[in-house]
Structure 1
Amino acid sequence: MLISRFRYDCFFRDAPMVVSGLVIQLLSYPIGKFMARVIPTTDYSIFGKKLTLNPGPFNVKEHVLITIMANCGAGTAYAVDIIVIQRVFYKQDFGFFANLLLILTTQLVGYGMAGILRRYLVYPAAMIWPSNLATVALFNTLHRREELAPGQWTRQKFFAACAIGSFLYYWIPAYIFPAITALTLLCYIQPSNVVLSQLTGSQGLGMGVLSLDWNTITAFLGSPLITPWWAQVNIMLGFILFAWIMVPTAYYLDIWNAKTYPILSSKLFTTEGYYYDTLSILTPAKTLDEPMYKAYGPLRITTFFAISYGIGFAGLTAILTHTFLYHRKQIWAQWKEARGASQDVHYKLMQAYREVPEWWYLILFCITVTLSIITCEVWDYGLPWWCVLLAVGISALFSLPIGLIQAVTNQQPGLNILTEFIIGYILPGRPIANVTFKTYGYISMSHAMSFLGDLKLGQYMKIPPRTMFMTQLIGTFIAGFVNLITANWLLSTRPNICTPEGGHFTCLSANVFYSASVIWGVIAPERMFGSTSIYHPLMYFFLAGLFIPVPFFLVSRRYPGTILDQIHIPVLLTSTGMMPPARPFQYANWLVIGFCFQYCVKRYYNNWYQRFNYVLSAALDSGVAVSAQYLPLN
């Protein structure tokens, strides 16, 4: 509850805080040890069964279950963005119960899908889920004793030293000297040079910007100490191609009148470069007012924002082609073998426990889909029942290929653009219907990935599956309530929240979400990307993405063992999907650190890497997150 509440305080701020289950994983250890010592071991008889509040020493499996429950509540419910833009930008509020149903259903639909996909994305040994490696390393650090050579540090000692250092250091960028969050070194050469500022500024393309803030670097991509080096190479290629080649080329060639607008922004503009007043083109029912729109003029976005959509289009179709070319045999084999034939040693050891039958997940899936339809029909979200089914169908279709990517690369391609695009054509001029469809279509998949990652963690740590099932459900329900209560409290008590006048509470995520609701919902794709729009060429990126993986696949099969085997087109194209709100300098610094550890340290100091790399990642994350609890939020 506490981590979920704090996460939402940070969610509304201009510098999002990464608060993961590592914080609870760290803090719960001494608390669990203390409670095991002081709670009486007295047995109680309830309905003929003996129970005790203290069954014995605090063990690693109890610790894992606490962390799993924290993981279910550590993130922010995407549906809260709908609630925020309704209240702040569209001046709507459907009430607490409707909002709660929206949050819970969008999260739990994905849980039902996760259970069906276990045989493909959890049981096989190849599905490693890299994000779990730091978590497992921390569990081992806290619960296992090591055999050491004289003078050698234990993992516990190393973790403690790094976590304390991270805790103390974070006060400098967060409170004492925020300038080191983004040192624009090259801008100092000629501060008045506009082009230099656009290319090398932290608010521009971030070339040469140095960040000394771990939270800023990891805010959107997670820890660079976890993502495999081959995946980071693909992210680097995609980032350089997009942010440092395509965007400046298009901007300085003045494509789409690019110079009328900032080089980097997620804001919406008129053709003259002024901010777009969305409310002036809406009816009281929050749908598009055609005469007012024609009088006000078309909407424009920055070149950066436009190209990011094009890259996203290509990434979506590339996922389908890549999955067919590279994984069709694996998927078919898993389908035939089903669960019992998995060769993963962790899965074989899990046979000692009773598995959760698939029909449990199917029932949960059917119930949550039904509640989703009821929510959208009873309250005026503008989304008919068949659109809810379509959204869930899209999510189900893409969950397997995206899961195959995330389980080995630690990167998750999003479905936000695809879902916005489809519903924008089906129901143009309806922004709330658009974002609701997007949430059911995208976040159902995203939560399925989160649940699958936790199931893999449970497999690594040998947690009984049925206990995992209940832990995840309870954690999700608690987090849903806390998310909504915290969001309502902040929206009611913070003046000018989510606006430029809101101080630190500018809501970067909600502002991007709102801009997308206007582009795809109010204006709709036909006006934004249709044949009469200046942005129409971006539609050809769909076709390009469909074919780009093919030559790489053919060449890698003709010449195996070359560097082309490491090219992963979906990761290359979708890895920049966090920009905006992420900024290029965050990607650049993330990649530099990744190169240092995942390439240099792993190659030249492999013993240290195997022993301490994931422990260091967990320590840095934990130190920052705990330090943030003591920093003033204003």
Structure 2
Amino acid sequence: MTEKETSDVASTATSSGTSIRVFESISDSVLDFTADDVNAVVPTDDEDVPVLTLRMWVIAFFLGTVITGVDAFFTLRFPTVHIGPIVAQVLAYPLGKLWDMIVPSFQLTIPFTKYGFNLNPSPFNSKEHACVFIVTNIMSPINLVSMTVTEQFKFFKSEIGIGRMIIFNLSSFFISYCLSGLTLSVLVYPVECIWPGILNTCALFKAFHQPEDKHELDKSEDTQIKPTSWKIPPLAYFGWTFLGAFLWYWIPDLIMPFLSRIGAWISWCKPENATLSQIFGVHTGLGLFPLTFDWTQVTSINDPLTTPFWSIATVFASFVIWIWIVLPGLYYSNKWQTANFPIMTNLIYNKDKKPYNASKVVTSDWKLDMEKFEKYSPVVLPISFVMGLALGLGTFSAMMVSFILNFKSEVLDQLGKRHEDHHNLAAAKYKKTHWGFFVGVGVVGFGLGFAFCQGWDDAPIKSLAFFMAILIGSLLYVPLALIESRSNFLLSLSSFFDLVSAFWFKGEPLTLLYFYSFGFNTLQKSMHITMSAKVGHYMKVPPRSISIGIFGAVAWGSLLSPAVVGYALNHIEDVCQPNAKNGMNCRKARTQFNTHLVWGLFGSELFSVHGRYAWVLWFFLAGALAAIVVHIFKCYKPKSAWRYVNATLLFGGATNIPSVTGFNYSTWALVGFIFNFYIHRRHTMWWRKYNLVLSIGLDCGTAIAAIIIYFCVVYTGGSKNFKWWGTTIGKTGCDIRGCPHLNEQILVPSGY
């Protein structure tokens, strides 16, 4: 092609929707996903198939109930297990086909009405399958709710009843449903909002239901893109990938677990050497060596096969700058005495360098007892905890300033825009849900929330605080969702909610818990609902069917998760005790409880203007300035590489520490470079045909292997006596213990 021919790719939509976004050149387009990439994995529309069938509801609620119930139950256990909607997507297909074979085609009429339904109206189709996934995907994210119930009942020792917790959950879910429904024009219909994380889901739907559709798989309008020589059907490729991932995961997870964290091999050479463990360790170290043979470690940030390369590059740059350069500099210079603690840890410490036990400094009603506090210890924070908080504040300000600067183009212009890509043209044939329905559900959610706050004298949060938590979560929702819809990177703003509530509710940790839960919980649920709505949009499910399916999942999921956790807390002996049987010690909830206690008791002092860690507040300014600078460069050079620079990700990309470390980031970025840059650029048709099917095959095979290993081997005690060098090498030494750089006595800070 000539220079002129490569300088422009048409941006106007055609009826097939093959050219929607503008790219300067073919090599430039590989940094992001194009319309051709999306269309290649999305099934074509079949208008004449039923959607909300009895078969769909039965399969969806059966799988959703089982998966959500199991996930909720095992949030109390450490190590925990999470099944997730991917398993439901795989199991739904054979269940739907089994229904086709067994259940007769029989018409039933609802008594005293002219309406009825058929038990088996047609073969199990892609739209029913999509609705099963949507229902399960919305019901499954219950970790935050489960931990809130556990904290309230077992650690704050305030059993307000499961009924009230169901009201709390319904309120949050209904408000989330309202937010998602009212923002469809901004977050679902625009073609720029790809939501890359769901493309592998769509690819599996297409492999199941349209295995012979080669319209977008084997050809392209661009003559420079050569067809792939591979002829294996995507469904067969998924099957082989699934089988390989299933069989392989037994090795790094059970038989040779050292392969999972083999990036730490240098620290194993001298396990008692603190410096080697701090640099190359993967538990409490920086994880400098990029090697693992465990897919769960590679995807601990997100799935690199579904993440655009511009996002991968930005996130990895964020990690290198803040965690591999800035953080070690602060640590080894012993700023705030942090060199006396592990370089990577999410714990907080006392003056004796032991994990801080906040329950030792409170009264029976969870207020700070100064006499106990002076006898025990002030709070001392490790560098990774402080750095994570600072980056969280920078992320917030960068995100909000960027959103304000781009508000017209990303929100106002989208509200009145006619979207003419072929996904929206297909959806236009169906009636949409009226915005008034979403508002009505939101009003009910607010009513339930006010009832939770004002209906009882011992309410843990008052109505004004509830309203402000929802208001803040609502304001953050659209800018946060816009970032994930394009980058496939979910930013956590939990530290922002912690900080705001710490200053507002000084000395009230229980109120802080509910302010955090209402605000952050509503935000996360809205993201899941919107993502599910985009799945339905891609799968050409009628908008009203999507709304009904989501509402059913919202209502049932809100009842189910608090009920399961409440039952477990009241019927399992010694639950949430350190020595509880079968590991039901509620470790995650206990950690979150201690964190909320510290924030509620000391947060406003630690991070005040004269506090010990007041410097983190400068990151508010740093994030805002970075967003302004990046925006100026984008305006000045709109077609340069600056358009791929995201100021929010430059801060937020590294906020996953310390739960993930350097070897997670580096292997994730390496896999992303190989598949979403090199292969996407050099073997484009192979990428479109197999990359996302490979992604879902690896995820599904690994997930089902993990479930079987856990329930059949680990949980039953079958692996208790299986020990050899490969199972123990990664469980000893400084990397596990978190050896500090220095072993000096902590100089106790005055006051808080």
Normalised-by-shorter TM-score class = over 0.9
Residue equivalent to 1:468 = 546
CA distance in structure 1 between the partners assigned to 2:322 and 2:157 by the alignment: 36
> What letter matches 1:510 in structure 2?
A
Residue of structure 2 aligned with 1:372, choices 433, 449, 462: 449
The residue aligned with 1:361 is 438
1:25-84 deviations in Å (ceiling 9; x for gaps): 111101101101210112222223342211111111111111111111222241222222
Moved more, 225-234 or 532-541: 532-541
Q: Equivalent residue for 1:81?
A: 147
Secondary structure at the aligned position of 1:631 is classed as helix
Deviations 1:471-524 (A, max 9, x none): 112222333333234434554537564859877666564355224302321223
Distance verdict in 2 for CA 1:521–1:386, change over 3 Å? same
Q: Does 1:610 align with 2:674?
A: no
Does the C-alpha gap of structure 1 residues 366 and 34 become closer, same or farther in structure 2, counting only changes over 3 Å? same
Q: Which residue is 1:31 aligned to?
A: 95
**Which of 234, 249, 268 is the aligned partner of 1:170?**
249
> What is the CA distance between 1:440 and its match in structure 2?
1.2
1:142 match: 208
1:151 Cα deviation from its structure 2 partner: 7.1
Question: Are 1:112 and 2:178 an aligned pair?
Answer: yes
Aligned match of 1:446: 524
TM-score (norm. length: structure 2) = 0.79
Q: How does 1:283-302 map to 2 (within 5 A)?
A: 283-302=363-382
Q: TM-score w.r.t. structure 1 length?
A: 0.94
Give the Cα–Cα distance (whole angstroms) in 2 for the partners of residues 106 and 58 of structure 1.
33
Deviation of 1:382 after TM superposition, in Å, equals 3.0
Match of 2:292 among 204, 211, 218: 211
- The alignment status of 1:343 with 2:424, answered yes or no, reads no
> Partner amino acid for 2:663?
F
Higher mean displacement: 63-72 or 576-585? 576-585
**Residue 376 and residue 256 in structure 1: after superposition, are their counterparts in 2 closer, same or farther (change >3 A)?**
same
Is the 8 Å Cα contact of residues 376 and 384 (structure 1) preserved in structure 2? yes
The structure that is helix-richer by fraction is: 1
Out of 309-318 and 369-378, give the one that drifted further: 369-378
SS of residue matched to 1:315? helix
Q: Indicate the larger mover: 579-588 or 155-164.
A: 579-588
Q: Does 1:320 find its partner at 2:400?
A: yes
Q: 1:523 to 1:494 in 2, by over 3 A?
A: farther
Q: Aligned partners of 2:339 and 2:230: how far apart in 1? A: 61
Q: Distance between the aligned counterparts of 1:31 and 1:333, measured in 2?
A: 44
Q: 1:502 and 1:310 mapped to 2: Cα distance?
A: 38
Q: Hey, what's the Cα distance between the residues in 2 that align with 1:546 and 1:631?
A: 47
5 Å matches for 1:217-616?
A: 217-219=298-300, 221-335=301-415, 337=416, 341-378=418-455, 380-491=458-569, 492-493=571-572, 495=574, 497=576, 499=578, 509-525=588-604, 527-616=605-694
**Residues 75 and 143 in structure 2, CA contact (< 8 A), matched pair in contact too:** no
Q: Cα distance, 1:150 vs. partner? A: 9.2
Shift of 1:597: 1.4
| Separation (CA, whole Å) in 2 of partners of 1:279 and 1:286 | 8
Q: 1: CA distance between counterparts of 2:304 and 2:573?
A: 34
- Is the Cα contact below 8 Å between 2:174 and 2:444 reproduced in 1? no
The worse-fitting range, judged by mean Cα deviation, of 542-551 and 1-10 is: 1-10
Structure 1 vs Structure 2 CA RMSD: 2.3
Aligned to 1:49: 115
1:522-569 residue CA offsets vs partner (Å, 9 max, x unmatched): 2232x1111332201111111111111222222233234333222101
- When residues 421 and 523 of structure 1 are mapped into structure 2, their CA distance, relative to the original with a 3 A threshold, is same
Residue 361 of structure 1 deviates from its aligned partner by 0.7
Q: What is the alpha-carbon distance in structure 2 between the residues aligned to residue 453 and residue 118 of structure 1?
A: 10
Alignment of 1:5-16 (within 5 A): 5-8=69-72, 11-12=75-76, 14=78
How many residues align structurally?
629
Letter matched to residue 487 of structure 1: V
Equivalent residue in structure 2 for 1:133, among 194, 199, 204: 199
> For the structure 1 residues 585 and 429, does the alpha-carbon distance in structure 2 shift closer, same or farther, using more than 3 Å as the test?
farther
Distance 1:424 1:249 in 2: 29
Q: Which runs of 4+ in 1 moved over 6 A?
A: 148-151, 500-503
Deviation of 1:400 after TM superposition, in Å, equals 1.4
SS class of match (1:308): helix
User: Which digits, 9 at most, give the CA deviation of each residue in 1:385-411, with x for residues without a partner?
Assistant: 011110111111111111211111112
Task: Report the more deviating stretch, 316-325 or 483-492.
Answer: 483-492
Identity %: 24
Does residue 72 of structure 1 match 2:149? Answer: no
Greater Cα shift, 509-518 or 155-164: 509-518
Secondary structure of the 1:51 match is strand
In structure 2, distance between residues paired with 1:489 and 1:534: 43
Cα distance in 1 between the residues matched to 2:647 and 2:598: 27
Cα distance in 1, alignment partners of residues 685 and 75 from structure 2: 38
Alpha-carbon distance change, 280 to 162 in structure 1, aligned in 2, over 3 angstroms: same
Residues 381, 200 of structure 1: alpha-carbon distance in 2 compared, 3 angstrom cutoff: farther
Q: 2:355, 2:623 → 1: CA distance?
A: 32
Aligned residue for 2:160, secondary structure, equals coil
Give the 3-state SS of the residue equivalent to 2:117 in structure 1: strand
Q: Classify 1:348/1:590 alpha carbon distance in 2 versus 1 (closer, same or farther; 3 Å).
A: same
Cα contact 1:5–1:482 (8 A) shared by 2: yes
Question: Which residue among 708, 717, 722 is the counterpart of 1:630?
Answer: 708
Tell me if the contact between 2:343 and 2:382 (Cα under 8 Å) persists in the aligned partners. Answer: yes
Which residue number in structure 2 is paired with residue 187 of structure 1?
A: 267
Give the partner amino acid of 1:109.
Answer: I
Distance 1:498 1:54 in 2: 49
Structure 1 residue matching 2:108: 3-state secondary structure: strand
The residue aligned with 2:85 is: 21
* CA distance 1:249–1:37, shift in 2 (3 Å): same
**Range moving further from structure 2, 491-500 or 241-250:** 491-500
Distance across 1 between alignment mates of 2:302 and 2:250? 20
Distance 1:172 1:26, change over 3 A: same
Which amino acid counterpart does residue 119 of structure 2 have in structure 1?
L
Greater Cα offset, 79-88 or 65-74:
79-88
Q: Deviations over 1:100-134 (max 9, x none)?
A: 22223222211111111111111111111111211
Radius of gyration: which is bigger? 2
> Does the CA-based 8 Å contact 1:414-1:442 persist in structure 2?
no
Against the structure 1 CA distance between its residues 452 and 514, is the aligned structure 2 distance closer, same or farther, given a 3 Å change threshold?
A: same
CA distance in structure 2 between the partners assigned to 1:276 and 1:145 by the alignment? 56
Counterpart AA for 2:325: I
Shift, 1:16, TM fit: 5.6
The 1-side partners of 2:603 and 2:275 are apart by: 33
Tell me by how many angstroms 1:209 deviates. Answer: 5.4
Local SS of the residue matching 1:561: coil
Alpha-carbon separation, structure 2, partners of 1:107 and 1:494: 31
> Deviation digits for residues 132-163 of structure 1, max 9, x if unmatched?
21111010000013258997100011000001
Q: CA 1:307/1:494 → structure 2, altered by over 3 Å: closer, same or farther?
A: farther
SS of residue matched to 1:91: coil
Pair 1:383–1:49, CA change in 2 (3 A): closer
Tell me the alpha carbon deviations over residues 607-633 of structure 1, each in whole angstroms, 9 at most, x when there is no partner.
211110110111111112222332234
Contact 1:508–1:581 (CA under 8 A) maintained in structure 2: no
